[in-house]
Amino acid sequence: MHNELLVIDDADLHLSILCKIAQQVGFTTTGAHSVAEATELLRERTFDCVTLDLSLGDQSGIEILKLLSEMKSRIPVIVISASGDEVREETVRIGNFLNLNVRVPIPKPIHLAALRKALTQVAVETERQKLATVAD
């Protein structure tokens, strides 16, 4: 059973790296380069996790958090951004305020071991939830 990950990043290189690492830990990945593209995908499909860059061209990743809140989504969101520590931490607080499942943010340049660890943790949790649902 593969977990589905939506990778939202407007930089092709970062998107490629994120997808490759996620695939190594067992995710099937879909990439989105913009808020509009990510919004369309989130409305059409179900994902088990989202990685989110905060700077998406002329829009902010916060728009995705607002959308997930409107959708009453509880899927894990991993913020991966070159923004400063304060901005990343404020984003987590906003996500918590919106009742989202926002995880500890990861700074850019991406620390690959931290990314692997975060994605592996989400994959394990998701598999447990899926197994519990099947058992019910």
Domains of the chain, CATH where assigned: 3-135 (3.40.50.2300)
Spatial CB neighbours of 136, under 8 Å, sequence gap ≥ 6 = none
Question: Does residue 1 register a pLDDT over 70?
Answer: no
At residue 129, the pLDDT reads 84
Torsion of CA 30, 16, 106, 85, to 10 degrees: -110
- Whether residue 135 contacts residue 111, with contact meaning beta carbons closer than 8 Å, is answered with no
Alpha-carbon distance values, 115 to 11, 12, 31, 63, 111 (Å): 17, 17, 16, 23, 6
pLDDT, tens digit (0-9, with 9 covering 90-100), for 49-90: 999 999 998 999 999 999 999 999 999 999 999 999 999 999
Residue with the two structure tokens 């996620």? 22
